[in-house]
Amino acid sequence: MGVALISSPAFPSVFLFSLITVCLIPELTLAAGITRHYKFDIKLQNVTRLCHTKSIITVNGQFPGPRIVAREGDHLLINVVNHVQNNISIHWHGIRQLQTGWADGPAYVTQCPIQTGHNYVYNFTIVGQRGTLFWHAHISWLRSTVYGPLIILPKCGVPYPFTKPYNEVPIIFGEWWNADPEAVITQALQTGGGPNVSNAYTINGLPGPLYNCSAKDTFKLKVKPRKTYLLRFINAALNDELFFSIANHTLTVVEADAVYVKPFETNTLLIAPGQTTNVLLKTKPNFPSATFFMTARPYVTGLGTFDNSTVAGILEYEFSSKTKSLSSNISIKKLPLFKPVLPPLNDTSFATNFSNKLRSLASAQFPANVPQKVDKRFFFTIGLGTNPCDQNNQTCQGPNGTRFAASINNISFAVPTTALLQAHFFGQSNGVYNPNFPISPLIPFNYTGNPPNNTMVSNGTKLVVLTFNTSVELVLQDTSILGAESHPLHLHGFNFFVVGQGFGNFDQNKDPENFNLVDPVERNTVGVPSGGWVAIRFLADNPGVWFMHCHLEIHTSWGLKMAWLVLDGKLPNQKLLPPPADLPKC
């Protein structure tokens, strides 16, 4: 049977009926997958939040955007039509895009953006993946309003490796600016300073009752007693990792980044931008005479300003017919409201303990195929730095009159004007990129100690080139330059295994002895600990050019990004397919 999905105004269940129908027809249950067609009209829509009405860029006039629902093995054709003045591109976050790098979406990496009045059909197949992912704009800060859930159900007849839920609910976190986010980042890049922070966080596009003028804009999760709900959490916020909790309820984590994990119970979740987490919520056996806040607020490690506010939704128990007769005089508004206790804003201890609990299932059906042998080792420092002002005698608003920058191995990524994948495929890379990204810092230093006097970064468009099927070990080291900070790093085109993490400087002689090569969590986005390091392994079995960047959007804007070029293998199924005829042009 298909799985019922709760509908909300933000996320109508467009394809639920067809999914159920497919599983009910015996002849179709063994099919490799079906083709699903979607159309995304990028257009302006007036939206009111915090008593502030503005025109925002949306998909199909919805904020958040429409929910995509498919099954493992399905083929997706998503026609994106641009009706606004901004260039646009869409990234299907977490989809591996095997041989279909042209559909990955980051502007000027795998494609030129879709210009006004043009369209592009994203064409890809979901191979070997199931769970919760999401899609979002991947150019400038347009993903502040252009995002939505991407839910991949298991193949027909394949059960979840946990209790079958009574219902499923996508819960997506975002940020809201009263100003135009494009103006916010434009101003920051012009002045060289930090950007203005958001005015609110949102749950499914709604800020909730703790914000001014927002009581009516509150997400409400209505549940029944003695039921198990699968909550699909997505952090689509631009610049903040978030703690989340539901008052007086325990959550069981069963999946991270669309990969099943060994279940564990927790009262609080930590989700970084770009990460997803599925949990089971088991409701109370009786109808409680109360309602319950579910709240989220940021986990903060950096020195910069941040949106120090809290978004709240409400969990309500629905009256059954039996309960109604006993409680006909009870008004939901008069019930006591319980509030959860979230960790302190800077609770790195909780963040560390939470991430350490995440382990792959490592079962026969869902193995953890961790590369045991390493062909190439890389050591990347990540963090903030500075650039000089553009003009003589100009004073910028960054540290000591400079401009804020961010880098990997002290190289701040310069966005090209030609898409990297296009330049590679057609042999026109000269003048577009250099294939000589350093495998380690050119000048070693005490990465988490006293910062060096020189905070300047270099700038360039450099790639790491890998032969097909290279097994990679990458250590990501945070630096204390301009302050240590947690960084959620997202790798396109691959899942990777988090084999180790720690604080201080990575010790290549001692730390690998403690790597977990048995059941490490498999992810597409990992939080690099503030003042610490994380080690990941992956197999470069997907030809193309693959972006890797911090999912804090301001850090990406400042240059904390790079790209991997994986060459074709020898077999037909190891080669990048040719670009589609409608690939956008720069």
pLDDT computed for residue 14 by the predictor: 39
Average pLDDT of the residues in 506-530 = 98
pLDDT computed for residue 29 by the predictor: 43
Q: With bands split at pLDDT 50, 70 and 90, how would you rate the model's confidence at 322? A: low
Q: With bands split at pLDDT 50, 70 and 90, how would you rate the model's confidence at 3? A: very low
Average pLDDT of the residues in 61-78 = 98
CA distances for 47 relative to 54, 176, 208, 331, 474, angstroms:
6, 11, 15, 30, 43
pLDDT computed for residue 335 by the predictor: 84
Q: Determine whether domain 376-574 maps to CATH 3.40.50.300.
A: no
CATH number of the 32-158 domain: 2.60.40.420
CA distance 184 to 421: 30
pLDDT-wise least confident of 248-252, 442-446, 516-520 = 442-446
Q: Per residue in 421-442, pLDDT tens?
A: 999 999 999 999 999 999 999 9
Average pLDDT of the residues in 381-393 = 88
pLDDT computed for residue 304 by the predictor: 87
Average pLDDT, the chain: 93
Q: Which two tokens stand for residue 546?
A: 């693959």
- Contact criterion met (CB below 8 Å) for 201 and 296: yes
CA distance 118 to 261: 41
State the alpha helices, DSSP H only, in 100-252. 181-191
Neighbours of 35 (CB within 10 A): 11
Q: Per residue in 463-517, pLDDT tens?
A: 999 999 999 999 999 999 999 999 999 999 999 999 999 999 999 999 999 999 9
CATH number of the 162-360 domain: 2.60.40.420
Q: Which two tokens stand for residue 8?
A: 């909300």
CA distance 277 to 233: 5
Neighbours of 329 (CB within 10 A): 6
Domain residue ranges in the chain: 32-158, 162-360, 376-574
Nearest Cα residue to 10 out of 284, 239, 175, 203: 203
CA distance 331 to 345: 35
Entry pTM: 0.94
pLDDT computed for residue 8 by the predictor: 39
pLDDT-wise least confident of 4-13, 29-38, 110-119, 162-171 = 4-13
pLDDT computed for residue 13 by the predictor: 42
Give percent of the chain with pLDDT exceeding 90: 88
CA distance 564 to 546: 5
Q: With bands split at pLDDT 50, 70 and 90, how would you rate the model's confidence at 316? A: very high
Give percent of the chain with pLDDT exceeding 70: 92
pLDDT computed for residue 395 by the predictor: 84
Using the predicted structure, report yes or no on whether residue 327 has a pLDDT greater than 90.
no
Q: With bands split at pLDDT 50, 70 and 90, how would you rate the model's confidence at 319? A: confident
Average pLDDT of the residues in 381-391 = 92
Strands (E), 300-390: 311-317, 337-338, 376-387
CA distance 213 to 350: 33
Do the two domains 162-360 and 376-574 of this chain adopt the same fold?
yes
CA distance 307 to 380: 29
